[in-house]
Amino acid sequence: MFKTEYVKNVFENLKNKNSNEKEFLQAAEEILTSLEEVAVKRPEIQEKKVLERFLEPERFVQFRVAWVDDAGNVQVNRGYRVQYNSAIGPYKGGIRFHPSVNASIIKFLGLEQILKNSLTGLPMGGGKGGSDFDPKGKSDREVMAFCQAFMTELYRHIGEDTDVPAGDIGVGGREVGFMYGQYKRIVNKSVGVLTGKGLSFGGSLARTEATGYGLCYFTEEALKTIKKDSFKGKTVVISGSGNVAIYACQKATQLGGKVVAMSDSNGYVYDPNGINLDVVKQIKEVERKRISEYVQRVQGATYTPNCKDIWSVKCDIALPCATQNELDLDAAKKLVANGVIAVCEGANMPSTIDACKYFIDNKVVFGPAKASNAGGVATSGLEMCQNSMRYSWTFEEVDAKLKDIMTNIFHNIHNTAVKYDNEFDLLKGANIYGFEKVCDAMLAQGIM
Ligand code: NDP
């Protein structure tokens, strides 16, 4: 699969050292495939072992998190933080609470985060963290007890100029609030050490909406530039019904699209009249229930108890916003056969390598996650700015900056893709554009 001995050897060594980490190896393979030509053009990359250093995290911390549940039983979970690369700024990246979390998932997310943060144009390095704790079905007190225990270890590794975590799957405003409270209690300082905070204690307006809105701004700009088209009048399918999916649905609708399907990990709902987002928000954000409830509340909607089947719903635009590897080659073929014109990723690595390639080969406007979902971390960067200034911007100010950042990301990676001869290969454009800045910083800072 690799054309040069150098990159082939880098990947073989990585495989030997991390043989049981399939998500991590998948992300590394995808990135290395795009970077091969850059490594040929720039001999210093091989001489100074930049790819080897780039793929090895600066630090990886694993820790015990012990807490007491409502029945008085002691529970033990595993916590992680990878501080992957600080060449262009303090480590920055979310925290995921989900039973599937392991070292491989944290490392794939951290590696992707380095390039994503570079694409935003803001000075942020890459990191990621999480735990195999499952917030689903837990009481508020149990979630608080877990978050406090998690931060009691994590606090010593982070700081507003060192490493600034945020939310991800299973970590929203409630969890960030509990973790921030515990950090403040331990270090006795009110600083912007976490982003995604509540508005009354340093959070930024528009952070909640940012990833979903940013995804749609990116998609709109890509459609306009590559296909001379827009969201207007288009049928849209969005997987997931969490933070990213909900605000992608809101913005896609505002831009004139009709969202007809959404999902959770149990199944998907189809509503030919267009998803009623107020109902979804009530079910998922307020009641924390299953998406299947939707059909009890909205006439004409149907429920299918298989979330992967959502990709067989005919649509013009597909926005995968649930989780990694949720869209495989089979699903990609169904989408293309049904006439999809754009697939832009809201989740991290939702499409398998084969699926990405299929979209690019079939001239679908394909927005790779590290570019199209960068609006969340970009707005987290804006939250860090506001915290440092002890000042807050209005919703409109943050939203306008977000839109600017997403538009710039699209044009930077599109121009790079064009330079490398295929304007549809935005994945390669994103990997190369994001990497070169980090590479230059690593070379300038010496061997470390
Ligand atoms: P949430 O926890 O708010 O929502 C996650 C959604 O995905 C839920 O609908 C959940 O369903 C579904 N889901 C989770 N795991 C699976 C699975 N194994 N199979 C199928 N569906 C699943 O998370 P977010 O919306 O914040 O994150 C979604 C994706 O976006 C993730 O990949 C995340 O890394 C990425 N992302 C998030 C950002 C943010 O700002 N929040 C920023 C950039 C990327 P259920 O309720 O059944 O679990």
| CB atoms closer than 10 angstroms to residue 414 | 22
**Ligand 1 centre and the CA of 219: distance in Å?**
19
Please provide the average confidence, as pLDDT, over all residues in the chain: 97
pLDDT value for 197: 98
Longest CA span, the chain: 64
Catalytic amino acids?
128
What is the pLDDT averaged over residues 352-365?
97
Which ligand 1 atom minimizes the distance to the CA of 246? 25
Tell me the CA distances in angstroms from 125 to 67, 120, 385, one per residue in order. Answer: 31, 11, 15
What is the pLDDT averaged over residues 426-441?
98
Which ligand 1 atom minimizes the distance to the CA of 377? 42
pTM of the entire predicted model: 0.96
**Ligand 1 centre and the CA of 413: distance in Å?**
25
Helix H or strand E encompassing 382? helix 375-389
**Ligand 1 centre and the CA of 36: distance in Å?**
31
**Ligand 1 shell residues, CB under 6 Å:** 167-170, 211, 240-245, 264-266, 307, 321-323, 326, 346-348, 373, 376
pLDDT, tens only, 252-287: 999 999 999 999 999 999 999 999 999 999 999 999
pLDDT value for 1: 82
Beta strand 74-85 with 125-131: parallel, antiparallel or unpaired?
antiparallel
pLDDT, tens only, 125-168: 999 999 999 999 999 999 999 999 999 999 999 999 999 999 99
What is the pLDDT averaged over residues 43-54?
98
pLDDT, tens only, 200-229: 999 999 999 999 999 999 999 999 999 999
Q: What are phi and psi of 241, to 5 degrees?
A: -150, 35
**CB of 266 closer than 8 Å to CB of 254:** no
Which ligand 1 atom minimizes the distance to the CA of 349? 32
pLDDT value for 278: 98
DSSP E strand boundaries for 224-292: 235-239, 258-263, 268-270
Please state, in angstroms and rounded to a whole number, the distance separating the CA atoms of residues 348 and 148. Answer: 27
Tell me the CA distances in angstroms from 436 to 113, 184, 378, one per residue in order. Answer: 15, 37, 19
Alpha helices in 255-352 (DSSP H): 277-281, 294-297, 329-337
pLDDT value for 261: 98
**Mutation test residue for ligand 1: of 113, 143, 323, the one with most atoms within 8 Å of CB:** 323
Please state, in angstroms and rounded to a whole number, the distance separating the CA atoms of residues 347 and 373. Answer: 7
Please state, in angstroms and rounded to a whole number, the distance separating the CA atoms of residues 404 and 210. Answer: 12
Nearest CA to ligand 1 atom 36: 347
Please state, in angstroms and rounded to a whole number, the distance separating the CA atoms of residues 241 and 229. Answer: 26
What residues pair up with 448 in beta bridges, in sequence order? Answer: none
**Mutation test residue for ligand 1: of 116, 132, 134, 168, the one with most atoms within 8 Å of CB:** 168
**CB of 416 closer than 8 Å to CB of 426:** no
**CB of 338 closer than 8 Å to CB of 402:** no
Beta strand 163-166 with 91-97: parallel, antiparallel or unpaired?
parallel
Tell me the CA distances in angstroms from 381 to 116, 155, 292, 388, one per residue in order. Answer: 12, 20, 36, 11
**CA angle 214–200–127, rounded 5-degree value:** 50
The secondary structure of residue 100, as a DSSP letter, is: T
